[in-house]
C-alpha cells in the first residue's frame, strides 16, 4: 500500500483516507464504483450513480505550520505516553439521493496535508468521479511499485498532476 494525497492505494483498490481495519469506517474506490465500509456505513454505488465525492474537514497547513503541529504532537506523546489516532476527515458521497457522510482516518503521517497536495487530491477525486481520470492508472502505478515505500511530497504531487493530466490543479 502507498499513500498519495488523500488516497491510500493498494493493488486492487483506492481508499479515500487510510484503509480501514476491522469494523472501522472507510471509503473504497474500485473499478465497479464506490463502497462505504464499516458497521454503520455499509453501502455501494456504481460510478454512474455517483455525482460527486468531496473531502471536508481535512487538516491542511503550510509546511512550517505542519512541522510545528507534528513536533507538538510528538512532544505530547513523549510526555504523556498517549498516542492519538490520525485525525479524521469527512467524505461526502452524493448520488442524487440523501448524501452519505463517512468519517475516515487520514492516510498521511501526522494527519496534516499541505495545501497543494490537498487541492490536487480534490481535483483528482473530481476527475475520478466524472471519468476524466481512470482508476486503473492509480492501481497500475501501485502494482508497478510493489514493496516500495511511500513517495515523498514532491513525487506525490507530480503523480497527481500526471493522473489529472494537467499542470494546473484548478
Tens of pLDDT, residues 7-33: 999 988 999 999 998 888 999 999 999
Residue 31: name the closest of 10, 16, 14 by CA.
14
Average pLDDT over the chain, rounded to whole? 84
User: How far is it, in rounded angstroms, from Cα 80 to Cα 72?
Assistant: 12
In angstroms, rounded to a whole number, what is the distance separating the alpha carbons of residues 125 and 116?
Answer: 14
Are 120 and 5 in contact, with CB atoms under 8 Å apart?
yes
Q: What is the pLDDT of residue 68?
A: 44
pLDDT tens-place string over residues 121-163:
999 999 999 999 999 999 999 998 877 778 888 999 999 999 9
pLDDT at 72: 46
Residue-wise pLDDT for 94-116, tens only, equals: 998 889 999 999 988 777 899 99
Task: Tell me the C-alpha distance between 48 and 161, whole Å.
Answer: 24
pLDDT of residue 77: 43
d(CA 89, CA 9): 18
Position 84 scores a pLDDT of 57
Cβ neighbour number for residue 127 with a 10 Å cutoff: 17
**pLDDT score of 69:** 47
pLDDT at 170 over 50: no
Q: Give me the pLDDT at residue 107, please.
A: 83
For Cα atoms 36, 133, 95, give the angle at the middle one, nearest 5 degrees: 35
**Looking at residue 82, what is its pLDDT?**
55
In angstroms, the Cα distances linking 36 to 6, 29, 65, 66, 92 are 16, 9, 32, 29, 10
Residues 6+ apart with CB under 8 A from 48: none
| C-alpha span between 39 and 127 (Å, rounded) | 29
Give the tens place of pLDDT for each residue, 30-82: 999 999 998 777 799 999 999 999 999 998 975 544 444 444 444 444 454 55
Beta partners for residue 26, in sequence order: 37
Asked if the model's pLDDT at residue 85 lies above 70, the reply is no
* Grid coordinates given for 61: 497547513
Q: Which residues, in sequence order, are CB contacts of 19 under 8 Å at separation 6+?
A: 1, 8, 10, 13, 26, 107
Q: For 166, what's the count of Cα atoms within 13 Å in the CB-facing half-sphere?
A: 12
Amino acid at each position: 500500500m502507498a499513500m498519495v494525497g488523500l488516497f491510500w492505494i493498494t493493488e486492487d483498490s483506492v481508499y479515500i483516507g487510510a484503509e480501514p481495519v476491522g469494523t472501522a469506517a472507510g471509503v473504497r474506490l474500485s473499478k465497479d464504483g464506490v463502497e462505504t465500509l464499516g458497521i454503520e456505513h455499509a453501502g455501494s454505488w456504481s460510478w454512474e450513480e455517483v455525482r460527486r465525492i468531496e473531502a471536508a474537514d481535512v487538516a491542511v497547513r503550510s509546511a512550517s505550520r505542519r512541522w510545528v503541529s507534528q513536533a507538538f504532537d510528538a512532544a505530547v506523546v513523549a510526555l504523556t505516553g498517549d498516542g492519538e489516532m490520525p485525525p479524521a476527515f469527512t467524505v461526502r458521497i452524493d448520488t442524487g439521493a440523501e448524501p452519505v457522510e463517512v468519517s475516515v482516518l487520514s492516510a498521511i503521517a501526522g494527519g496534516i496535508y499541505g495545501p497543494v497536495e490537498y487541492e490536487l487530491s480534490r481535483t483528482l477525486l473530481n476527475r475520478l468521479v466524472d471519468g476524466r481520470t481512470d482508476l486503473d492508472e492509480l492501481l497500475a502505478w501501485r502494482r508497478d511499485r510493489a514493496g516500495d515505500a511511500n513517495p515523498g511530497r514532491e513525487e506525490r504531487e507530480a503523480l497527481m498532476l500526471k493522473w489529472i493530466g494537467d499542470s494546473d490543479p484548478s
